[in-house]
Amino acid sequence: TKRGLPIILAGVLFWVVMSITGFVLSEKQVVWVYLIGMGCVFPFGLMIAAILKIDMFAKGNPLGILAGLIGGINVLNIPLVLLAYF
């Protein structure tokens, strides 16, 4: 199936942008682009899936709920990253 294609494309786009910013921006700015960009890979993948009309979500899979909860835990780490950085 093509369900994984949008996330792969978003990840490739992220690394292309990161490779360019590594040469253009300062090290401190690259860290912020990296942190913000990591959080944008999945939403960009959803946007690419909508453009390509690909349904990325499996219906009726009980592991899907578990994966969503585990992925959502990463949002709780954002304040820790900000505290460590400042």
CB 30 within 8 A of CB 15: no
Cβ-based neighbour number of residue 44 at 10 Å: 17
Q: How far does Cα 19 stand from its chain's mean position?
A: 16
Higher per-residue confidence, 76 vs 49: 49
Question: What are the helix and strand counts (H, E) for the chain?
Answer: 4, 0
Contacts of 9 (CB under 8 A, 6+ apart): 45, 48
Domain ranges of the chain: 5-85
pLDDT at 11 over 80: yes
pLDDT at 49 over 80: yes
**pTM for the model:** 0.68
